[in-house]
A = this chain, B = another copy of it.
Amino acid sequence: MRRRPIPEATVGRLPIYLRALLDLAESRGETNVSSDELARLAGVNAAKVRKDLSYLGSYGTRGVGYDVEYLLYQITRELGLTQDWPAAIVGIGNLGRALASYKGFSERGFRITAIFDVDESVIGEEVGGMIVRHLDELKEVVAEMGTSIGIIATPPLAAQEVADKLVDAGVKSILNFAPAVVNVPPDVTVRKVDLSIELQILSFYQQRTQAIATAREANRRLRNQHGAG
């Protein structure tokens, strides 16, 4: 019954507002916040904050601002964080272990409830308070635990195969850490976290500014030479 659908760009920012609001509520004991203040905390434009929040409804008070607790509740509800989301990690290597032991997920409704691998020397081991199970048990465990999110932390070559198995097991949301493109049916959402891509983007922009600096330098030299000659 919503007036307008929430744009993708807005969905991506709601978690940032959520974090800023939690900080305001818990650490600073603020009960009220203006779009200006929230914008500063989230590192975005104030008009953008207001427009983003307006998609959720008219929850602010003109001349006053937003009630922190109420806004927290509304964003939490909108993001579906009032319920618990059991997640499973596949691939318990370096990264999978760090993720499995990470305490930060549980803070907001995400719980890692099962971890999988195919390496016999890893299976049965305890990581982050859980026993590593064989990938063959995936479907069964997912059904039993109502797992809704699958996290892929295998080498890239295994990523598509693992994604297929997650889909087959009924998982509709996948977070992929492997540097590989994975294809899934349209009713499944995949998001990727790719460090190499991020580094390469940083490289591009840094190289560009370096190139500009070098060109300026060359220009300066040329001018000086010309002046002197």
Task: Kindly list chain B residues whose C-beta atoms are within 8 Å of the C-beta of A208.
Answer: 80
Number of A interface residues in the complex (CB < 8 A) = 62
Find A209's partner among B12, B19, B174, B187 (CB 8 Å cutoff): B187
Q: Max chain B CB contacts within 10 Å: which of A78, A180, A196, A203?
A: A203
The 0/1 profile, CB within 8 Å of B marked 1, for residues 155-180 of chain A is: 00000000000000000111100011
Within 8 A of B (CB), among A106-141: 107-110
Task: Kindly list chain B residues whose C-beta atoms are within 8 Å of the C-beta of A174.
Answer: 202
Copies of this protein in the complex: 2
The distance from the CB of A203 to the nearest CB of chain B, in whole angstroms, is 4
Complex formed: what's the CA distance from A12 to B198 in Å? 8
Task: Kindly list chain B residues whose C-beta atoms are within 8 Å of the C-beta of A81.
Answer: 200, 203
A sample of 19 cross-chain residue pairs with beta-carbon separation below 8 angstroms, ordered by A number, consists of: A11-B201, A15-B200, A20-B181, A43-B183, A79-B204, A79-B207, A81-B203, A104-B195, A105-B196, A105-B199, A108-B200, A149-B202, A149-B206, A172-B206, A173-B202, A175-B195, A189-B202, A189-B206, A191-B198
